[in-house]
Each structure stands twice: as C-alpha cells, then as structure tokens.
Amino acid sequence: MTALTAGTTVTISVKKVPLEARHRKTIERLMRLQPAVQRTLTRVARRRGRDNPVNQRGGRMWTSRIPATRCVGAELGAKFTLRVTPHIIPDVMAVQRFLEIS
C-alpha cells in the first residue's frame, strides 16, 4: 500500500468489486474526479439542460428532471488516475481493501 500524501498523483485499479452499494458508490465518486470524466460530465449536463423539454403543467412552466449520466463504473480491473487532495484521503482509505494503489 502506497502512502497517500496530498499533492501526489496515484494510479488506482479495482482489484475486487464490492458487494455493498455504499462502497461501489464511493469508488465511482473517486473515479468521477478524473479531469477527463469531469469534462465529459460537464458537457453532457450542459446538453441535457439545453435540450430538456419545457411544457406547461397546472398553469406553470414545468421541466422534467433528467437523471445524471453514469459514465464510470466500479468494475474489476478498472483503472483511474487521481491527484490526491486532503479531502479524498478518507474516502480512499474507506475502500482500500477493494483497490490497488500504485
């Protein structure tokens, strides 16, 4: 296990898929911190807001909320690279038994 210090860049791979949803969600949240994934999510959210249909419902304008896009998944062997910041260290430590950090 590599020591996590703020400011370092680490490559993380999923070595075991967690059965509990809370652990899967934590890993997916960490995966969404990658800059490339952030750009994709921003672009898709902008398009979703622009193309969202607005109709009248009960005399008021109504916008149906479209669920957020899921572009990452905690799958066996999935790799991602993160720049370690102090606020994500506890999240990584909480799911470290499912991850391999190098």
Name the pTM for this structure.
0.86
DSSP-assigned letter for residue 16: S
Say if residues 78 and 28 touch (Cβ distance below 8 Å): no
Give the SS3 label for residue 12: strand
Question: Would strands 54-57 and 60-63 be described as parallel, antiparallel, or unpaired?
Answer: antiparallel
Q: H or E segment at 38?
A: helix 35-51
- Domain positions in the chain are 9-101
pLDDT tens per residue across all 102 residues of the chain: 567 999 999 999 999 999 999 999 999 999 999 999 999 999 998 998 888 888 888 999 888 888 888 999 999 999 999 999 999 999 999 999 999 999
Q: Rounded distance, CA 69 to CA 48, Å? A: 9
